[in-house]
Amino acid sequence: MKFDHFETKIPSLGEPKVISPIQKFCMLNRYGQECEKNFVPDTDQVLVHDSLEYIENLAPGEKPIALEMAGPRSHIYFDPSKVRCAIATCGGLCPGTNDVIRAIVLELYHLYGVRHTYGVRYGFQGFIPKYGHDLVDLTPEAVANIHTFGGTVLSTSRGPQDTVEIVDALDRINIRILFLIGGDGTLRAAQEICKEIARRELRIGVIVIPKTIDNDIPLVSRSFGFDTAVEVATEAIHAAHTEAIGSPNGIGLVKLMGRFSGFIAATATLALREVNYVLIPEEDFDLDGEWGLLANLECRLKERRHALIVVAEGAGERYFTEENRERDPSGNLKPGNIGHFLQDAIRAYFKQRQIEVNLKYIDPSYLIRSRPANYNDRIYCGFLGQNAVHAGMAGKTAMLVSRWHSHYVHIPIEATMGRRKEVELDSPLWRSVLESTGQPPLKKL
């Protein structure tokens, strides 16, 4: 993924002068031996581009783009005995959200000694008085088992809310660190909240833990929940394959999440390697004509008697007009229903050619969204939550926690705005998909 130069310095509420309480816990290990305090200075950084070619092509005097390393600081900004924190979850459901909430609460309570952490119900609605949502007292006992459940114990909502009212609520209940768990819309809202906080000259930190099951936020190598999504997606693909080979001219059609990026579809395909066609938003395709999907599919059925198609929800957008698409509560244009569109098109094509086909359509989206995280995502969520707490207590703000080149890092919210991570068509990922499926070009070159 290529990036133009951007600002990587993390905004701060002020100079951290409070000695971190973590020192008290790190003096001795379990055997009574002294252990090193592994604090991370702000000068520890991770290169955005780590290729030799990039380094060699830097202009004389030009510094490479680098991200601030995440982790505990030796001095923090907030006094743990006085600080109040809040957590809100926004946007759609995603496996692992409860794990992140739990990690934040336990880290604040046990490591820093923070005794006042509140959960905000129903996303940004929870800040607005007219909705009447009460805060939830998040104690270690309250979050002890939430990681075993899917969804979010705080519930969520979509749609914009008044930024002024949100900051009014933060100031009124004396919240000093706000942890937001959400995706692209949440990042935009967080940026506006930070601007309003700065305008009022308040000392409130805003830390975002990026949540997008589609894995499409830039500078985030893998978003939490993605691993679980791929795992469940492979179950749907396997079921569709079984249906396809179980009848003459059987066709399995699986629609997976991926409004703008086809990472789930591509990765799940490689996990199972039974798929014949993968349609993603990044790669245009024709439906009709000699090079189109339907003609290719007919040839495939003549040769092998079955076929399996995986399509990301945002694929084939040129087949839908703005008039026949809806908008979500945030005002974003929803993708057309490519699954039903393909299902109808395939059936109509083969009916016209008097070829009987047995098509089975599977859309596991809500099964994926509502699942508890698998063990891999749970571990990842724990690290994200812990590093979000370290950043918040150190007085960092207007940032998100990410993993980049196997390191946890801090990224300014502004650095992610106006960008989206997509499957690169010349990448090893997509080349491997084409090699695995044997999929020909579905558009005349």
Query: Which residues are annotated as catalytic?
Result: 214
Contact yes or no for 180/208 (Cβ under 8 A): yes
DSSP β-bridge partners for residue 403? 408
| Helices vs. strands in the chain: H and E counts, helices first | 13, 15
Paired tokens of 321: 């007009």
Contact yes or no for 53/84 (Cβ under 8 A): no
Coil, strand or helix at 228: helix
CA–CA distance, 444 with 414 (Å, rounded to integer): 39
Paired tokens of 247: 């009848």
Q: What single-letter amino acid sits at 36?
A: E
CA–CA distance, 409 with 399 (Å, rounded to integer): 10
Paired tokens of 284: 């245009």
CA–CA distance, 148 with 372 (Å, rounded to integer): 6
Burial class (CB in 10 A: 0-12, 13-18, 19+), 202: middle
CA 214 → CA 94, 163, 256, distances in Å?
A: 10, 27, 10
